[in-house]
Amino acid sequence: MNLSRLAADAAARGTPVRAGLIGAGKFGSMFLSQVPTIGGLEVAAIADLNPDRARAACRGVGWDDDRLAATAFLDDGASLAARDDVDVVIEATGNPRAGIAHARAAIAAGKHVVMVNVEADVLAGVVLAREAEAAGVVYSMAYGDQPALVSEMVDWARAAGFHVTAAGKGTKYLPAFHAVTPDDVWQHYGLTPDAAKAAGMNPQMFNSFLDGTKSAIEMVAIANACGLTVPSQGLTFPPCGVDDLAHVMRPRAVGGQLDGSGMVETVSSLERDGRPVFRDLRWGVYVVFEAPNDYAAACFAQYGLPTDSTGRYAAMYKPFHLIGLELSVSVLSAALRNEPTGCTRAMCGTVASVAKRDLKAGEVLDGEGGYTVWGKALPITAAGRALPIGLAHNVTLTRDVAQGQVVMMDGVDMRNDPIADLYIQALAGTTG
């Protein structure tokens, strides 16, 4: 609650926090739009495969010529990580392989890392966090994105002495969405392909939001940061509005829809017949918690907190998340408090690649949001050697996989892949 004061103090000392941004896409642009109004925070450098596009993004969010002239623009993230004028590296490329490489370069150079790239985090976050700790720097989730916001809510509940029953987010979901490809994604967003193209919207990226992959990635990130359990058969996406969270998101043994307590789950904004859920949580996040004793349960009622029928389960939620507009919270927290806004602690789950259709040996997988596979959240104990979605891009199948089956790591050509080796180290709980 004093982060803005710490930032103002840094400005007054003439030692502002100096950030370096890798990837000037939508998330990065939203962050850049806020920087001019935050005293004590500067962006020293921006790396993007297309520096001219990054400059255009800065102009598009309102940067003036003086701020542009004071910022270095590069085409290489590793070079940015090595700069002496950068304190915190923000990895926002969305590419898991690039994200891991950039994070390791930043840690080796003694920089804090804010990992917007959740795809990289669920692959190797536990390894990166341990490397950062050994180097005396912070490895952090990105505030504004759902995993960090949910981690904050879980921490609040635990710090207040409540038992966390469930935590997660909302999204638009129907079972048929798992088979959607970039060719037919726009109809589900109410857009024409031409309108989406004119707006610069990437169909594969937006399809990952729809086909369940992004939800799986985010729920696994939350589980890995908070020590929560991933559903044994994957996310079930129960339809649920904010008024019913405490009733639906509790264990089945007491009338809810969860296998047990302490689980991650995504709730759907659509009923299974396609009707909208009343007071849905499509854009928000939640935590459901249980009173630890009868006295606390009585206080729930006395202070008007909506509960389930037992009076022991209650929910808190945020109806919206502002992604990059809130990212500065992580940057300032890392530099001024030496504290992450959520951080991977253990591999509780992974995101397995599941065939969208019958796949044949010799086919090349196209990864998250593509035509071949979607990502399914699974607990580590159930996933075995499933191919994680972050490694399912541009790899060749060595055997057939039927629609709906999980692709296994020994069913693709992964020879001499250092990122695959790093993932295996993460599974083993070691940095090698």
Block residue for tokens 């649920």: 240
Q: Mean pLDDT score of the chain, rounded to an integer?
A: 95
Same domain, yes or no: 277 and 411: no
Question: Does the residue 200 lie in any domain?
Answer: no
User: Residue 25 to residues 21, 180, 430: CA-CA distances in angstroms?
Assistant: 10, 24, 33
The answer to the question of residue 135 being in a domain is yes
Domain assignment present for 224: yes
Total residue length of the chain: 432
Same domain for 12 and 137 = yes
Q: Percent of the chain scored above 90 by pLDDT?
A: 92
- Per-residue pLDDT tens over the stretch 300-315: 999 999 999 999 999 9
Integer Cα distance of 352 and 412 in angstroms = 13
CA distance 339 to 116: 16
CA pair distance 392, 273, nearest whole angstrom: 32
- The answer to whether residue 59 sits within a structural domain is yes
Angle (deg, nearest 10), helices 51-60 and 26-34: 50
140 and 242 belong to one structural domain: no
pLDDT band at 430 (very low <50, low <70, confident <90, very high): very low
Contact predicate 362/227, CB 8 Å: no
Is residue 342, in this structure, part of any structural domain at all?
no
The reported pLDDT for the residue numbered 428 is 81
What average pLDDT does this structure show over 233-239? 97
Which of 182-191, 194-203, 210-219, 340-349 has the least mean pLDDT? 194-203
CA distance linking residue 336 with residue 306, whole number of Å? 37
Based on the domain organization, do 315 and 333 belong to the same domain?
A: no
Domain boundary among 278, 311, 337: 337
In a domain, 343, yes or no: no
Residue 107 sits in the same domain as residue 157: no
**Domain containing residue 8: CATH number:** 3.40.50.720
Domains identified in the chain, total number: 3
Average pLDDT over residues 376-390: 94
The pLDDT assigned to 431 comes to 39
**Which range is least confidently modeled, 213-217, 292-296, 399-403, 427-431?**
427-431
**In this structure, is residue 191 part of a structural domain?**
no
In tens, the pLDDT along 58-115 reads 999 999 999 999 999 999 999 999 999 999 999 999 899 999 999 999 999 999 999 9
- Do residues 54 and 97 share a domain? yes
HSE-CB of 315 using CA atoms within 13 angstroms? 26
Residues 222 and 306 in one domain: yes
21 and 114 housed in the same domain: yes
200 Cβ contact list (under 8 Å, min separation 6): none
Cβ atoms of residues 164 and 258 within 8 Å: no
CATH number for the domain harbouring residue 422? 3.90.1210.10
Residues 242 and 330 in one domain: no
Range of the domain at 7: 3-145+325-337
| Maximum Cα–Cα distance across the chain | 64
Q: Which of 413, 327, 415, 409 is nearest to 123 (CA)?
A: 409
Residues 168 and 302 in one domain: yes
* Residue type present at position 219: M
Residue 432: what pLDDT? Answer: 42
Quickly tell me which residue has 């695959």 as its tokens.
Answer: 420
Mean pLDDT of 32-52: 97
Residue matched to tokens 């809510």: 153
Q: Is residue 182 part of a domain?
A: no
What is the average pLDDT across 11-31?
96
What DSSP designation does 307 have? B
Instruction: Please give the average per-residue pLDDT across 323-347, as a whole number.
Output: 97
Lowest mean pLDDT among 205-209, 226-230, 371-375: 205-209
Compute the distance between CA of residue 128 and CA of residue 118 in angstroms, rounded to an integer.
Answer: 12
Average pLDDT over residues 294-299: 97
Q: Distance between CA 177 and CA 123 in Å, rounded?
A: 24
Locate tokens 């992959």: which residue?
213
**Residue 196 binned pLDDT confidence (cut-offs 50, 70, 90):** confident
Residues 282 and 403 in one domain: no
Spatial distance between the Cα atoms of 77 and 90, rounded to a whole number of angstroms: 10
Pull the structure tokens for residue 160.
């207040």
Has residue 209 got a pLDDT over 80? yes
Q: Dig out the tokens for 5 from the structure.
A: 């004061």
Dihedral angle sign, alpha carbons of residues 86, 92, 97, 103: positive
154 and 250 belong to one structural domain? yes
* Residues in Cβ contact with 384 at an 8 Å cutoff, skipping those fewer than 6 apart: 408
Q: What is the DSSP string of 355-404?
A: ESS-B-TT-EEE-TTSSSEEEEEEEHHHHTTBPBGGG-EEEEBSS-B-TT
Q: Encode pLDDT of 125-168 as tens digits.
A: 999 999 999 999 999 999 999 999 999 999 999 999 999 999 99
